Chains A and B, each alone.
Chain A
Amino acid sequence: MSLPNQQIDQDQLVARLRAKKADAFSYLYDNYSAAIYGSISRIINDEDVAQEVLQDAFMKFWDKIDQYDAKKGRFFTWMVNISRNLAIDKLRSKEMKKVGKTDTIENYVSGIEQSRLNHLNVDGIGLKETLATLREEERFILEMAYFKGYTQSEISDEFDIPLGTVKTRLRMGLKNLRKVLQVE
């Protein structure tokens, strides 16, 4: 679970992308595509469509890099939000929403734990165990919001949970996850 999150490298990377350096783009893809693709493929099950969205996302990073404002957040946050929004738009345009959101997080997790991922399991703590430390209602909200791309108000509407509750559960879920992932 290594994060290429050194701020200097990130600033440098952004600067080189703004300068339209192809090597920076190549680096960007090598280091971030798996994390981005993970976020997309959790929303879109169809591999071809997910691939399409991944390409669109990276093109958008390339074309819209000038819109990224470091003062408003981390570079990865900007990228992952672009990707997620693209994925959700695609999902809705193709009316595959219901089909696309059926997998449970457990299926998903066991899926990736079996795959050959260089980001995962280097530390001996599987994601499944990590998520298992959360309370079920927190895990559910996290699954819906983070892994499936639902907005907080969509979760509230669709599962009949008060919006305030959705918000606090998502918050507690992430907060507890932080402890386990040692982000503090």
Chain B
Amino acid sequence: MNIEEYISSGILEAYVMDQLSPAERTEVEQAAADHPEIREELEKIELSMETLAFATAVQPPEGVKDKLMQKIGAAEDKEAPVIALQPDKSTGILRFAAAASVLVALASAVMAFTYWKKWQSAENQLADMIAQNAQFAENYNQVNQQLDDIQNAVAIMNNTAYKRVVMAGTDNSPDAQATVYWNEATADVYLSIQNLKALSQDQQYQLWAIIDGKPVDAGVFDPNNGSFLVQMKNITSGAAAFAVTIEPRGGSENPSLETMQVVGNVTT
């Protein structure tokens, strides 16, 4: 006999609720006598039914007890020695209350843990999103800055007050090219790099304006500083040409002409 199967068939519940035929009843009683597991299961079913009955108890109306006591031939005697039989009811209640409070505490703990986990993951997500947000803001600012640069550059390039001086590569670097935008009236000088080779860390390019045949320093720059148009030192009127040389970082007072990369004449 498969005991598991027998127990899970529901016949024991039916037995406890007195819903079986006499033959079936005998069978269950025999099975319970043979198998302690079945006896145990029956006890559990009975206890759960009993617990349920007490949990759903309904106080009967007054007076029923008196009638019953009369029927069995004993008037209800208030001083009947029932105390001896009294089970410790308060202990029972306490026990149940204790069990219930353990259950409640357990449930609360589980809930607390669950919510703590949720809160924690929400906190992490929030931190991630704040970081992301900062990144977006930074990107936005960068793009905005570039846009400003480009707008300024376009304004300068399209401004007819600026002279456009294209500087072509010298024999040192035939492919090199850069352009100077020079406003003679305001003396503003901007440089746009089309193609200049990378330099070592201790070198920098230096822009020169040729005024009356003499080179005048117009500032140093790095080939790849990211800007679209670099503002250089102001050059007042009289420049006939612009040229770029390679100098030690920081620039020189006099150009090393042998390193000249690009040069271009100012068209009048």
The interface of chain A, by Cβ under 8 A from chain B, is 1-6, 9, 12-13, 16, 20, 22-27, 29-31, 33-39, 41-42, 47, 51, 54-55, 58-59, 62, 72-74, 76-77, 80-81, 84-85, 108-109, 112, 115-120, 122-125, 127, 130, 145-147, 151-153, 164, 166-168, 170-171, 174, 177-178, 181-184
Contacts and interface: CB of A to CB of B under 8 A. Distances in A.
19 contacts: A2-B92, A3-B92, A9-B87, A22-B73, A22-B80, A24-B85, A27-B85, A30-B82, A34-B54, A55-B68, A55-B71, A73-B16, A122-B96, A127-B55, A127-B56, A168-B9, A170-B10, A182-B100, A183-B51
B50 A33 contact: no
A146 B58 contact: no
A22 B54 contact: no
A117 B103 contact: no
Contact of A170 (B13, B43, B52, B54): B13
Given A123-B100, A178-B44, A167 B9 contact: yes
A47 B71 CA distance: 21
Contact of A9 (B13, B48, B77, B85): B85
B49 A80 contact: yes
A76 B53 contact: yes
A3 B54 contact: yes
A122 B101 CA distance: 11
A152 B10 contact: yes
Given A2-B89, A16-B85, A171-B8, 10 more contacts: A3-B47, A26-B77, A34-B60, A37-B57, A73-B16, A125-B100, A146-B49, A167-B9, A174-B45, A177-B52
> Interface SS of chain A: helix, strand, loop or mixed?
helix
Nearest to B28: A72
A1 B55 contact: yes
Interface of B: 8-14, 16-19, 29, 42-61, 64-65, 67-69, 71-74, 76-77, 80-82, 85-87, 89, 92-93, 95-97, 99-101, 103-104
A177 B44 CA distance: 11
Contact of B77 (A22, A108, A116, A166): A22
A54 to B, nearest CB: 6
Given A1-B96, A167-B10, A171-B8, A117 B57 contact: yes
A59 B73 CA distance: 12
A39 B11 CA distance: 21
B55 A181 contact: yes
Contact of B48 (A27, A108, A174): A174
A36 to B, nearest CB: 8
Please give me the 8 A-B residue pairs with the lowest Cβ-Cβ distance, nearest first.
Answer: A167-B10, A2-B92, A22-B74, A123-B100, A34-B57, A81-B18, A37-B60, A38-B58
Contact of B68 (A13, A29, A112, A145): A29
Given A23-B82, A122-B97, A182 B103 contact: yes
Contacts of B65: 26, 29-30, 33
Contact of B82 (A26, A38, A54): A26
A72 to B, nearest CB: 6
B49 A77 contact: yes
A94 to B, nearest CB: 19
Contacts of B104: 124-125
A55 B101 contact: no
Nearest to B81: A23
B48 A42 contact: no
Given A22-B69, A27-B85, A125-B100, A35 B54 contact: yes
Contacts of B101: 123-124
Contacts of A62: 72
Contacts of B89: 2, 4
